[in-house]
């Protein structure tokens, strides 16, 4: 098994958290993982992305030029990474912020109105979890239940009160994906 995903968007959208949760879940499921963040000139509001590799084999390098999957949280990220996705790969799009269609017909596309769903849940900051839920369900790279366990280990102290809304956001994202 080998999954290489680039998670990209604006700083402040929770991209790094998404990547860390995914990597931690891969570790919990006994896989080899790599997580590599990349920030633009400013952190909050600037461009940011991270790469996550989950593999049953040793990982030679955390650098990925042609990922199997891309999660695009905003249009500049889709513009930047759309053409890099491998044939028969996956692109998950936050359709709340990306109006245009994906210009490729050789990849699977999942459109998720993450911001709209997060607003209905009462917290825009969980838009990242809505998208992550859809990605996890579509890719099957880790189990959603493992992401829940990782959330419980990661969100501690004052952030513990956010576990339930994050789980609900993950579930709603996963429910959007057709089997």
Per-residue pLDDT at 77? 94
pTM, 2 dp = 0.94
Per-residue pLDDT at 159? 87
Query: Coil, strand, or helix at residue 169?
Result: helix
CB 110 within 8 A of CB 138: yes
Residue 93, beta-bridge partner list:
72, 111
Per-residue pLDDT at 45? 57
- Helix or strand holding residue 140 (H, E): none
Tokens describing residue 110: 């999942």
Please, which residues have CB within 8 angstroms of residue 118's CB and are 6 or more apart in sequence?
124, 125, 126, 127, 129, 130, 169
Residue 176 per-residue DSSP state: T
Which CATH fold would you assign to the domain 2-175? Pyruvate-ferredoxin Oxidoreductase; domain 3 (3.40.920)
Per domain, the residue ranges of the chain are 2-175
Per-residue pLDDT at 166? 96
Mean pLDDT by 10-residue block, N- to C-terminus, for the chain (179 residues)? 96 92 97 90 69 96 95 96 97 97 97 97 96 98 97 90 96 90
């Amino acid at each position: 098994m080998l999954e290489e995903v680039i998670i990209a968007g604006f700083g402040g959208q929770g991209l790094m958290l998404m990547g860390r949760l995914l990597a931690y879940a891969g570790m919990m499921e006994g896989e080899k993982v790599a997580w590599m963040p990349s920030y633009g000139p400013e952190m909050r509001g600037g461009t940011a992305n991270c790469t996550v590799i989950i593999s049953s084999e040793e990982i030679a390098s955390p650098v990925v030029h042609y990922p199997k999957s891309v999660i695009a949280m905003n249009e500049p990220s889709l513009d930047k990474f759309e053409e890099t996705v491998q044939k028969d790969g996956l692109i998950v799009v936050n359709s709340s912020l990306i109006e245009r269609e994906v210009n490729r017909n050789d990849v699977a596309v999942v459109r998720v109105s993450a911001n709209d769903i997060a607003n209905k849940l009462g917290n825009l900051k969980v838009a990242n979890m809505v998208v992550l839920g859809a990605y996890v369900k579509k890719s099957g790279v880790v189990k959603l239940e493992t992401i829940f366990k990782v959330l419980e280990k990661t969100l501690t102290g004052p952030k513990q009160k956010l576990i339930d809304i994050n789980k609900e956001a993950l579930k709603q994202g996963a429910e959007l994906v057709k089997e």
